[in-house]
């Protein structure tokens, strides 16, 4: 695996820490800014909305720019967004800073994913994406608990300053180690109209739906995990960073598992991971008042959620093979549609007076729908109705430095997927 893929994963560590750290500092942040927990939880949705909008828009806007230059610029903007968040005097200013940071984060994810898959053979895509997703796992193991600890010891603003420093380190790594790639010309030149053709394929929309439901299921619960642990399970607030770290450890375990098995068993990984998340969330809804059960199930949710992630990423790139930049953008937007809707539904049930425990039921219901979406996608796939974009890509090469053999291998990949 190229070193540059690991550098992208390292950069994602900073992005992921910012995206997820609010779950650990939600309570001190809400107290300091004088807002309710559900309103503070909307900051998670604000970041996700920025990701949803930013991923396709920035991917399209930067399609003809050198990719390393684009990554550097977006990471710099993200770093400045964290500084703005740390200095925010009001909830409203913090809200805006989260959206702007998310726009840059989304662009980095979309372009970075396209770069990662372009640097490896098609049969190693899930492993490459597992390394990028692994950055999120490490963020949950180290970044989010550290942010929660800083929030408790030095104020929630210190967590934003720490992420700004992490982004600066990632920026140096990208400049130094991610290879420069010239913008393709001639027949290989980026073509937005050609890439937009992926949205005429039902398999792309089914992949989007599956990703969104899986992400929404996890984040409906994860966004309110800290108050659930303290108010329902009876865990002291000082132990919340430890449990968040366990969730991240589970995520790392799941990423390793998913990265190893997803290339060979794509649909099997999707079925198994999403179904397991459904069961874990349902058990958490039933057993949340038990401290031991709540902690153990938080670990298991990390495993199940991140086992599925490499397969979900690889599936989108397989069905949108001829549009790697927009495929990456669509994957990012899909995850964050779920990250928007999940916390919003969670906030609705909390505001309705149903309590934090009900959020786990919301997550379980969304995960169950995700299993159904996977079944439908598998059925469409078995009809051999392969993506029109992939089929027709022989005369329309993917933009950027994608492997020359990607299109030729599409049929073999489809056969492998069917066997899964």
Residue 184 lies in a domain: no
The C-alpha atoms of residue 52 and residue 334 are separated, in whole angstroms, by 7
Residue 290 lies in a domain: yes
Residue 352 lies in a domain: yes
Shortest CA distance to 108 belongs to which of 55, 45, 174, 173? 55
Asked if residue 271 has pLDDT above 80, the reply is yes
Number of domains in the chain: 1
Residue 271 lies in a domain: yes
Asked if residue 189 has pLDDT above 80, the reply is no
Q: Domain of 261: which CATH number? A: 1.20.1250.20
Can you give the pLDDT at residue 387?
42
156-177 and 22-33 helices, crossing angle to 10°: 140
Asked if residue 418 has pLDDT above 70, the reply is no
pLDDT band at 396 (very low <50, low <70, confident <90, very high): very low
Task: Dump pLDDT digits (tens) for 274-297.
Answer: 999 999 999 999 998 899 999 999
Asked if residue 70 has pLDDT above 70, the reply is yes
Of all residues in the chain, the percent with pLDDT exceeding 70 is 82
Residue 182 lies in a domain: no
Distances (CA, A) of 351 to 147, 198, 355: 26, 39, 8
Task: Mark out the alpha helices in 119-224 (DSSP H runs).
Answer: 125-138, 144-154, 156-177, 192-195, 202-222
Please name the residues in contact with 89: beta carbons below 8 A apart, sequence gap of 6 or more. Answer: none
Residue 140 lies in a domain: yes
∠ CA 395-396-401, nearest 5°, is 125
Please name the residues in contact with 174: beta carbons below 8 A apart, sequence gap of 6 or more. Answer: 7, 8, 11, 68, 71, 72, 75
Asked if residue 377 has pLDDT above 90, the reply is no
Shortest CA distance to 52 belongs to which of 11, 139, 110? 110
For 350, other C-beta atoms within 10 Å of its C-beta total: 22
Residue 117 lies in a domain: yes
Please name the residues in contact with 353: beta carbons below 8 A apart, sequence gap of 6 or more. Answer: none
Read off the pLDDT of each residue in 250-276 and give the average, rounded to a whole number. 83
Task: Dump pLDDT digits (tens) for 125-178.
Answer: 667 777 776 776 677 677 777 887 888 788 888 989 988 988 888 888 888 777
Report, in angstroms and rounded to the nearest whole number, the Rg of the chain calculated over CA atoms: 20
Shortest CA distance to 223 belongs to which of 39, 11, 15, 13? 39
Can you give the pLDDT at residue 365?
93
Residue 256 lies in a domain: yes
What average pLDDT does the chain have?
Answer: 78
- What range defines the domain where residue 153 resides? 3-177+189-419
- Dihedral angle sign, alpha carbons of residues 84, 90, 93, 98: positive
How many CA atoms lie less than 13 Å away from 410 in the CB half-sphere? 23
Q: Hey, what long-range contacts does 34-40 have (CB within 8 A, 24 or more apart)?
A: 34/91, 35/91, 37/224, 37/227, 37/350, 38/347, 38/350, 38/351, 39/91, 39/347, 40/91
Can you give the pLDDT at residue 366?
93
Can you give the pLDDT at residue 126?
67
């Amino acid at each position: 695996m190229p070193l540059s893929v690991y550098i992208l994963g390292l950069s994602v560590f900073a992005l992921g820490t910012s995206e997820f750290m609010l779950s650990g500092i939600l309570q001190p942040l809400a107290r300091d800014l004088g807002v309710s927990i559900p309103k503070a939880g909307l900051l998670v949705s604000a970041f996700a909305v920025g990701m949803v909008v930013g991923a396709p828009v920035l991917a399209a806007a930067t399609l003809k720019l050198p990719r390393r230059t684009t990554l550097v610029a977006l990471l710099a903007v993200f770093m400045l967004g964290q500084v703005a968040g740390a200095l925010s005097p009001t909830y409203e200013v913090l809200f805006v800073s989260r959206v702007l940071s998310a726009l840059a984060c989304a662009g980095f994810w979309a372009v970075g994913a396209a770069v990662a898959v372009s640097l490896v053979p098609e049969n190693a895509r899930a492993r490459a994406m597992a390394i990028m997703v692994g950055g999120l796992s490490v963020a949950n193991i180290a970044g989010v608990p550290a942010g929660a600890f800083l929030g408790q010891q030095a104020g929630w603003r210190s967590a934003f300053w720490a992420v700004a420093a992490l982004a600066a380190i990632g920026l140096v790594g990208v400049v130094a180690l991610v290879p420069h790639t010239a913008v393709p010309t001639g027949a290989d030149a980026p073509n937005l109209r050609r890439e937009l053709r992926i949205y005429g394929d039902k398999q792309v929309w089914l992949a989007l739906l599956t990703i969104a439901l899986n992400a929404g299921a996890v984040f409906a619960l994860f966004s309110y995990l800290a108050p659930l642990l303290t108010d329902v399970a009876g865990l002291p607030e000082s132990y919340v960073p430890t449990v968040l770290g366990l969730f991240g450890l589970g995520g790392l375990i799941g990423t390793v598992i998913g990265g190893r098995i997803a290339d060979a068993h794509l649909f099997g990984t999707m079925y198994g991971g999403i179904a397991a998340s459904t069961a874990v969330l349902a058990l958490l809804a039933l057993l949340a008042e038990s401290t031991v059960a709540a902690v153990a199930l938080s670990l298991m949710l990390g495993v199940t959620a991140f086992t599925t992630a490499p397969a979900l990423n690889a599936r989108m790139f397989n069905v949108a093979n001829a549009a790697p930049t927009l495929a990456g953008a669509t994957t990012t937007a899909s995850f964050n549609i779920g990250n928007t809707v999940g916390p919003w539904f969670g906030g609705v049930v909390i505001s309705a007076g149903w309590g934090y425990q009900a959020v786990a039921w919301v997550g379980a219901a969304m995960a169950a729908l995700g299993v159904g979406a996977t079944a439908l996608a598998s059925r469409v796939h078995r009809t051999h109705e392969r993506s029109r974009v992939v089929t027709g890509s022989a005369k329309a090469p993917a933009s950027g430095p994608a492997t020359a053999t990607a299109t030729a291998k599409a049929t073999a990949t489809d056969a492998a997927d069917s066997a899964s």
